[in-house]
Chain A
Amino acid sequence: GESVGLHLPTLSVQEGDNSIINCAYSNSASDYFIWYKQESGKGPQFIIDIRSNMDKRQGQRVTVLLNKTVKHLSLQIAATQPGDSAVYFCAEILMDSSYKLIFGSGTRLLVRP
């Protein structure tokens, strides 16, 4: 398969453990945050989103936490599986006229069997 990123921060976890991927954002005007998963050789895939009026949102095996005070976002994956191995990107939407989706830098998650 094709490598998405060769020099990304990497998180290595044991299969079955919980994973926490962190993301910092800088723009106070950001109102909407999204996590994407990108497997090798594929396009990004939407995982979960959160609005700025919330501090936590849960999905299937995933939880996103938002701390607006320190401009920090995290994605928690419960009971990490080999299929979770991928690059994870946080993204934000600026609440200006363009409503543009801006991707941050990614984190590579490696799941050890």
Chain B
Amino acid sequence: EAEVAQSPRYKITEKSQAVAFWCDPISGHATLYWYRQILGQGPELLVQFQDESVVDDSQLPKDRFSAERLKGVDSTLKIQPAELGDSAMYLCASSLLANTGELFFGEGSRLTVL
């Protein structure tokens, strides 16, 4: 069964350092999402792509976060510089259709900022 691939699975970094997360969506899925999940809470949308274009990045802290999906396939989420409050699970998801509630999530990248 096709899955959303994410790496790294775990990342520990010191504050002020740069971190990057990678996501490879299910083949054929044009819509890609990055969510952040703080322990004990539901996922929060950071950015949504349709092919290579950003559809929604209203909740992305643009002073330190950036996301790209240059060829409309895989995507990278970067944080620079990392802050203590960025410690969370970063989840990537993809969907076949743009306006759907059926998202396929990866296993996430757990970030710990010391």
Contacts and interface: CB of A to CB of B under 8 A. Distances in A.
Interface stretch (A13-21, A40-48, A54-62, A65-73): A40-48
A99 B93 contact: no
Main secondary structure of the interface of B (DSSP, over half): loop
Interface string B91-114: 101000011011111111010000
Contact of B42 (A7, A42, A105): A105
B28 interface: no
B112 to A, nearest CB: 12
Most chain A beta-carbon contacts within 10 A, residue among B42, B44, B98, B99:
B42
A106 B42 contact: yes
Nearest to B4: A43
B101 A32 contact: yes
Nearest to A43: B105
Contacts of B91: 43-44
A5 B43 contact: no
Interface residues of A, number: 29
B56 interface: yes
Contacts of A41: 107
A104 B43 CA distance: 8
A29 interface: no
Given A2-B110, A42-B107, A103 B101 contact: no
22 contacts: A2-B110, A4-B39, A5-B39, A5-B41, A8-B40, A33-B101, A34-B101, A42-B107, A44-B91, A46-B102, A89-B43, A93-B101, A98-B58, A100-B45, A100-B48, A101-B101, A101-B103, A103-B43, A103-B44, A104-B42, A105-B42, A106-B41
